[in-house]
C-alpha cells in the first residue's frame, strides 16, 4: 500500500468516481510500460534530479534569471506570471477538487524513486502545469527562446512519469492547465507589437551618404549567428552602400587595429560604421569618439542592445538614417580599469554574477549555441556563485553583483544590461545584496517589486535586496577572491585580467564616468 493511500484514504475513491474507466486503464498501461522499460542508470538518476530541481519552480526561476541576464525581461515576466497562476490553480484548486491516489511505490524501480514519494493528491501534476505554463509563456514572447525551453519542460513533465510520481492523465491535465493559463494571459495582456522605442538623444544633422561615400564599415562575420541562423548582412550592405569601404573581419583580427589603419590611410573616412555585437560596437564607438567622427551602427549582433535603444532595428533603419543625414547626440560611459587606458561603455559595466555567466557561456556557445549555453552556464554559475567584496566610493560591501548602467533604466530591473535612455547625464547603479544563492536567483528572476510581493505572500524567501541610485562618477575597489580578482564586463565582453590594477594582492580599481553628449550616431528621427 502506498504512503499516499495511508495519508489520504479518500483519494482512491475520488479518482474512481471522477475519472472514466478507460482513462484509468490507459494510466495503468502507460505506467506498466514505463516501469518495464530498461534504461541506463545514469538516465534514471538524471530524471530524478531533474524532477527534484523543478520542485517549487526552482528550475524555472533559474531560467527566468537567465532571461533577465540576457535582457529578455518580458519573456521572464510572462513565464513567471504564467507559472505562478498555473501552480496555484493546479495545487490549491485542482488537487483539492480531484486529487486521486498516486502510483504504487512498490511498482516503481528502485533507481527511479524520488527521495520522498509525494503524498498530496495526484491530479493534476503541479510540476507539469508549472513547466508548461513557463515554457508557453516564454514562447509567446519569443518563439526562439520557447524552442529551447519547450524540450526542457517536456522532460520535466515526463520525469513525473519516469519517477512514478504521477499517472499519465495527471501529467496531461497539468500540461493543459499550464498552457491554458499562458494563452489566457495573452488574451488579458497581449504580446505587444515590436516597435522601436527611443527615449532621449538630441537630434542633430550628420553628413548624408546615400550610397555610402566616405563610410568605412567593419563587419564581424561571427556576430549574430549563435542563436538562430540568419542571412549574412554583408551582401545587403554592399548592395545598399556601393560606395562604402566594407571590411569583413577575419578570425583573430583586431577590430581596433583595422579601424586605426583605415583612419591613417588616404582618403580618410568621414564616417565610421560597424555591423557586429555590442562589444565590437563599443570598440568602434571609442575610436569614433577619438577621431571626432559620427558612427553608423548596423544591427548585426545577437542582441543589438545599443542599436535597439537608439531605435535602429534593421539594416534599412540604419541605411535610411545615413542617406537622410539623421543623427542623435547621446551619452556614453568611460571606464578605466586600474591604470589602463579608458574604454567607451555604451550599455552597462558589471562585476559579479554576470561576468562569470558570460565567461562560462563563451566556453560552451560554439558547441551548444548561445541560448542552450546560456541556460547551462547560468545554472552552473548561479549554483556555485560567491559574493564579491567591493569598496564602493569608500563604502565596503559584499554583494552578488554590481551593475553600472549608462543612463537611467527600469526601476524594477536588478541587471540593467540594455539602457532605456540616451541622454539624462547619469549612471544607474544596481547592487544585488543577498543572504544566499536562492535569494540572488529569486531577485534576478523577479526583480525588486515582485520579489517583495512574493516574499510577503511567503512564496519565496526574504532577504534579497536590490539597492539602486544614480551618480555621475563611480570609483570601485574590487577585492581579490581566493587570490584572484573577479572578472569585469562591459557591453557583453569580459575582461578576466587587469594589468596594473592599482591595488596590492591582485585587486583592482575601476572608475566609470558619464560623458554627456559623448557620441554622435546615425538614427532615424521618428
- For the entire predicted model, the pTM comes to 0.67
Burial class (CB in 10 A: 0-12, 13-18, 19+), 32: exposed
Burial status of residue 170 (CB atoms within 10 A of its CB: 0-12, 13-18, 19 or more): buried
Residue 482 is given by DSSP the state T
Residue 271 bridge partners (DSSP)? 215
Average pLDDT over residues 470-483: 84
Q: Cite the beta strand spans of 361-496 per DSSP E.
A: 388-392, 395-399, 401-406, 427-433, 465-471, 473-478, 488-490, 493-495
CATH code for the domain in which residue 124 is found: 1.20.144.10
Residue 342 within any structural domain of the chain: no
Q: Using the predicted structure, report yes or no on whether residue 323 has a pLDDT greater than 90.
A: yes
Query: Lowest mean pLDDT: which of 87-91, 174-178, 283-287?
Result: 87-91
Per-residue confidence band for 426, with pLDDT thresholds at 50, 70 and 90: very high
Q: How confident is the model at residue 484 (pLDDT cuts 50, 70, 90)?
A: low
Bridge partners of 348, per DSSP, are 405
The interaxial angle of helices 58-69 and 73-88, nearest 10 deg, is: 160
pLDDT of residue 198: 63
For residue 159, being part of any structural domain is answered with yes
According to the model, what pLDDT value does residue 188 have?
A: 83
List the CATH number of the domain containing 412.
2.60.200.40
Handedness of CA 153, 158, 163, 165 (dihedral sign): positive
Query: Could you tell me the pLDDT band of residue 227, with boundaries at 50, 70 and 90?
Result: very low
pLDDT in tens, 428-460: 998 888 666 666 655 555 545 445 544 454 444
Structural domain includes residue 432 = yes
Judge if 405 and 503 occupy the same domain.
yes
Confidence of residue 9 (pLDDT cuts 50, 70, 90): low
CATH label of the domain that carries residue 235: 3.40.50.10330
Q: If you average pLDDT over residues 36-49, what whole number do you get?
A: 84
Of 142, 166, 188, which residue constitutes the final position of a domain?
188
Query: For position 458, what pLDDT does the model report?
Result: 45
- Domain containing 141: what range? 3-188
Residue 12 above 70 pLDDT?
no
Task: State yes or no: pLDDT of 306 exceeds 80.
Answer: yes
Question: Which range scores top for mean pLDDT: 215-224, 288-297, 366-375?
Answer: 288-297
Quote the mean pLDDT of the chain.
Answer: 81
Euclidean distance between the first and final Cα of the chain, in Å? Answer: 70
SS3 for 319?
Answer: helix
Q: Are residues 321 and 353 in the same domain?
A: no
Residue 274 pLDDT grade (very low, low, confident, very high; cuts 50, 70, 90): very high
Lowest mean pLDDT among 22-31, 334-343, 440-449: 440-449
Are 177 and 207 contained in the same domain?
no
Q: What's the CA gap between 155 and 389, in Å, rounded?
A: 38
Residue 277 covered by a domain: yes
Residues 306-322, mean pLDDT to the nearest whole number: 91
Residues 451, 354, single domain; the answer is yes
Q: What is the per-residue pLDDT for 37?
A: 83
Residue 156 has pLDDT above 60, yes or no: yes
Q: How many CB atoms lie within 10 A of CB 422?
A: 24
pLDDT at 194: 54
Confidence of residue 461 (pLDDT cuts 50, 70, 90): very low
- Look at residue 142 in the predicted model and tell me its pLDDT: 83
* Cα-based distances in Å from 125 to 24, 47, 108, 459, 485: 16, 16, 18, 19, 45
Q: Are residues 369 and 518 in the same domain?
A: yes
Domain count, the chain: 3
Same domain, 389 and 517: yes
Same-domain pairing of 17 and 115: yes
* pLDDT for 123: 84
DSSP 333: E
Q: What CA dihedral angle connects 314, 220, 289 and 344, to 10 degrees?
A: 100
The answer to whether 426 touches 471, Cβ cutoff 8 Å, is yes
Give the pLDDT score at 229.
Answer: 46
- Best-predicted range by mean pLDDT (101-105, 387-391, 446-450, 454-458): 387-391
Question: Does residue 100 lie within any of the structural domains?
Answer: yes
Highest averaged pLDDT of the listed ranges 116-120, 275-279, 319-323, 446-450? 319-323
Lowest mean pLDDT among 51-55, 89-93, 297-301, 430-434: 430-434
Residue 351, C-beta contacts closer than 8 angstroms, at least 6 positions apart:
388, 390, 401, 402, 476, 478, 486, 487, 488, 489, 510
C-alpha cell at 274: 560597424
pLDDT of 49 over the 50 cut: yes
Contacts of 185 (CB under 8 A, 6+ apart): 78, 81, 82, 85, 137, 140
Q: Is residue 340 part of a domain?
A: no
Please indicate, yes or no, if residue 334 is contained in any of the structural domains: no
Kindly state the average pLDDT of the residues 116-139. Answer: 87
Q: Is the domain of 163 the same as that of 230?
A: no
| Average pLDDT, integer, range 399-423 | 81
Within-domain flag for 210: yes
| Residue at a domain's end among 329, 360, 393 | 329
Least confident interval from 67-76, 119-128, 464-473: 67-76
| pLDDT score of 5 | 39
Show the cell assigned to 495.
575582461
Same domain, 481 and 380: yes
Asked if residues 144 and 302 have their Cβ atoms less than 8 Å apart, the reply is: no
Do 24 and 166 have their domain in common? yes
- Give mean pLDDT, residues 208-225: 84
Per-residue pLDDT at 508 exceeds 70 = yes
Whether residues 148 and 221 fall in one domain: no
More confident residue, 382 or 170: 170
Mean pLDDT over 5-21 rounds to 57
Residue 359 has pLDDT above 50, yes or no: yes
| pLDDT at residue 18, rounded to an integer | 67
pLDDT at 341 over 90: no
Instruction: Give the number of C-alpha atoms closer than 13 A to the C-alpha of residue 387, restricted to the C-beta side.
Output: 16
Residue 521 confidence (pLDDT): 97
Q: Is beta strand 215-220 parallel, antiparallel or unpaired with respect to 271-276?
A: parallel
* Residue 251 and residue 116 in one domain: no
Amino acid at each position: 500500500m502506498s504512503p499516499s493511500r495511508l495519508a489520504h484514504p479518500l483519494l482512491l475513491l475520488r479518482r474512481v468516481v471522477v475519472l472514466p474507466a478507460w482513462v484509468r486503464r490507459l494510466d495503468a498501461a502507460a505506467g506498466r510500460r514505463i516501469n518495464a522499460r530498461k534504461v541506463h542508470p545514469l538516465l534514471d538518476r538524471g530524471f530524478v534530479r531533474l524532477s527534484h530541481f523543478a520542485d517549487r519552480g526552482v528550475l524555472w526561476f533559474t531560467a527566468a534569471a537567465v532571461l533577465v541576464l540576457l535582457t529578455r525581461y518580458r519573456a521572464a515576466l510572462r513565464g513567471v506570471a504564467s507559472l505562478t497562476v498555473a501552480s496555484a490553480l493546479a495545487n490549491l484548486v485542482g488537487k483539492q477538487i480531484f486529487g486521486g491516489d498516486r502510483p504504487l511505490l512498490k511498482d516503481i524501480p528502485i533507481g527511479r524513486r524520488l527521495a520522498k514519494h509525494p503524498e498530496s493528491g495526484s491530479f493534476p501534476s503541479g510540476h507539469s502545469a508549472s513547466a508548461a505554463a513557463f515554457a508557453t509563456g516564454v514562447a509567446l514572447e519569443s518563439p526562439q527562446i520557447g524552442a529551447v525551453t519547450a524540450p526542457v519542460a517536456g522532460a520535466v513533465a515526463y520525469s513525473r512519469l519516469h519517477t512514478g510520481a504521477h499517472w499519465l492523465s495527471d501529467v496531461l491535465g497539468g500540461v493543459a492547465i499550464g498552457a491554458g493559463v499562458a494563452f489566457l494571459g495573452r488574451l488579458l495582456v497581449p504580446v505587444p507589437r515590436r516597435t522601436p522605442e527611443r527615449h532621449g538623444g538630441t537630434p542633430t544633422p550628420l553628413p548624408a551618404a546615400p550610397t555610402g561615400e566616405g563610410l568605412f564599415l567593419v563587419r564581424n562575420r561571427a556576430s549574430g549567428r549563435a542563436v538562430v541562423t540568419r542571412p549574412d548582412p554583408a551582401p545587403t550592405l554592399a548592395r545598399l552602400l556601393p560606395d562604402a569601404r566594407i571590411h569583413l573581419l577575419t578570425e583573430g583580427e583586431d577590430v581596433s587595429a583595422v579601424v586605426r589603419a583605415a583612419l591613417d590611410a588616404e582618403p580618410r573616412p568621414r564616417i565610421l560604421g560597424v555591423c557586429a555585437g555590442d562589444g565590437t560596437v563599443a570598440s568602434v564607438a571609442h575610436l569614433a569618439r577619438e577621431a571626432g567622427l559620427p558612427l553608423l551602427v548596423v544591427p548585426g549582433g545577437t542582441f543589438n542592445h545599443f542599436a535597439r535603444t537608439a531605435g535602429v532595428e534593421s539594416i534599412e533603419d540604419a541605411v535610411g538614417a545615413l542617406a537622410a543625414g539623421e543623427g542623435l547626440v547621446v551619452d556614453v560611459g568611460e571606464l578605466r580599469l586600474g591604470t589602463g587606458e579608458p574604454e567607451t561603455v555604451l550599455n552597462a559595466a558589471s562585476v559579479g554574477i554576470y561576468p562569470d555567466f558570460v565567461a562560462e557561456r563563451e566556453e560552451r556557445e560554439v558547441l551548444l549555441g548561445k541560448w542552450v549555453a546560456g541556460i547551462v552556464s547560468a545554472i552552473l554559475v548561479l549554483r556555485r556563485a560567491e559574493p564579491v567584496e567591493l569598496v564602493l566610493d569608500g563604502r565596503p560591501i559584499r554583494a552578488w553583483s554590481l551593475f553600472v548602467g549608462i543612463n537611467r533604466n527600469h526601476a524594477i530591473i536588478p541587471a540593467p544590461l540594455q539602457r532605456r535612455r540616451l541622454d539624462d547625464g547619469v549612471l544607474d547603479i544596481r547592487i544585488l545584496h543577498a543572504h544566499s544563492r536562492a535569494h540572488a536567483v529569486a531577485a534576478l528572476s523577479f526583480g525588486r517589486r515582485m520579489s517583495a510581493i512574493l516574499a510577503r505572500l511567503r512564496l519565496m524567501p526574504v532577504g534579497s535586496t536590490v539597492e539602486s541610485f544614480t551618480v555621475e562618477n563611480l570609483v570601485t575597489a574590487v577585492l581579490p577572491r581566493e587570490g584572484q580578482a573577479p572578472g569585469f564586463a562591459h557591453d557583453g565582453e569580459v575582461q578576466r585580467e587587469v594589468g596594473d590594477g592599482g591595488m596590492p594582492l591582485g585587486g583592482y580599481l575601476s572608475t566609470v564616468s558619464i560623458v554627456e553628449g559623448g557620441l554622435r550616431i546615425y538614427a532615424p528621427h521618428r
